[in-house]
Amino acid sequence: MEKLSELYRGKAKTVYSTENPDLLILEFRNDTSALDGQRIEQLERKGLVNNKFNYFIMNKLHEAGIPTQVEALLSDTAILVKKLDMIPVECVIRNRAAGSLVRRLGVEEGFIFNQPTFELFLKNDELHDPMVNDSLCYAFNWATEAQLSQMKTLSFKINTILSDLFDKAGLILVDFKLEFGLFKGEITLGDEFSPDNCRLWEKETLKKMDKDRFRQNLGGVIEAYEEVAKRIGVTL
Ligand code: TMP
């Protein structure tokens, strides 16, 4: 399948049309952004690592019965995906306190919740992805009650599958962000799952192995991504 024309250039991926109107090509670039795109740097190999990482995770989720948009690995940095009508809210699951939740609620980083949390954020860089809720989703027609309920159920199921996968690799899945869309009316997991949009800590040392290394200028960003990939069995 060949790229036809560029449809959209996001912060880390470019989306291309193909000759099949139901299929798109996602190209993972080396661009790494923080502060809602105000800081962008090129990290060598990131496109390759995230593409292969995402393909591996999406396959695991597919095998566990989660509908995903992924169709095929096309190259080191590209995959073929179903074209989704994206729902403009991001679903965030947390198992421990970190990031914006620590700033918002003043709890200590690493605090372990009684049960995983589910939050919704509007996809809007200019507004810095404000937190929203189910009632706003219905009022603005971002998602119906049935769609949101399914997104929530799938998000918790994905948390169970991936927390177990990372646990077996000596890692804690602290939190992550998912995006869903509709394919022929069915809620389907889109976007990507990589160390760019989750937090992973080493179980023994609590060392950060995700994009927080970039956000917090800790260094060794791609080295950490590659280490996680190696531990869970991704072939790079
Ligand atoms: P937060 O602590 O900044 O709210 O982020 C929670 C998790 O979701 C973290 O793993 C990063 C991820 N995330 C994104 O990848 N993109 C986003 O736009 C947001 C809001 C969160």
For ligand 1, mutation pick of 177, 200, 208 (most atoms within 8 Å of CB):
177
Handedness of CA 213, 217, 223, 226 (dihedral sign): positive
Query: Cα–Cα distance between 74 and 125 in angstroms, integer?
Result: 30
For ligand 1, mutation pick of 197, 208, 210 (most atoms within 8 Å of CB):
197
Identify the pLDDT of residue 37. Answer: 84
Is 176 touching ligand 1 by the criterion CB < 6 Å?
Answer: yes
**Nearest CA among 29, 35, 28, 24 for reference residue 1:** 24
Strands (E), 97-142: 112-122, 131-132
Is 90 touching ligand 1 by the criterion CB < 6 Å?
Answer: yes
Q: Is 207 left (phi over 0), alpha (psi -120 to 50) or beta?
A: beta
In the 8-state DSSP scheme, what is residue 133?
Answer: -
Q: Are 73 and 59 in contact (CB under 8 A)?
A: no
Is 117 touching ligand 1 by the criterion CB < 6 Å?
Answer: no
Strand order through the sheet with 70-73: 6-9, 13-17, 23-28, 78-82, 70-73
Q: Are 53 and 229 in contact (CB under 8 A)?
A: yes
* Residue-level pLDDT, tens digit, the chain, 236 residues: 899 999 999 999 999 999 999 999 999 999 999 988 889 999 999 999 999 999 999 999 999 999 999 999 999 999 999 999 999 999 999 999 999 999 999 999 999 999 999 999 999 989 999 999 999 999 999 999 999 999 999 999 999 999 999 999 999 999 999 999 999 999 999 999 999 999 999 999 999 999 999 999 999 999 999 999 999 999 99
pTM summary value: 0.97
CA of 22 to the centre of ligand 1 (A): 29
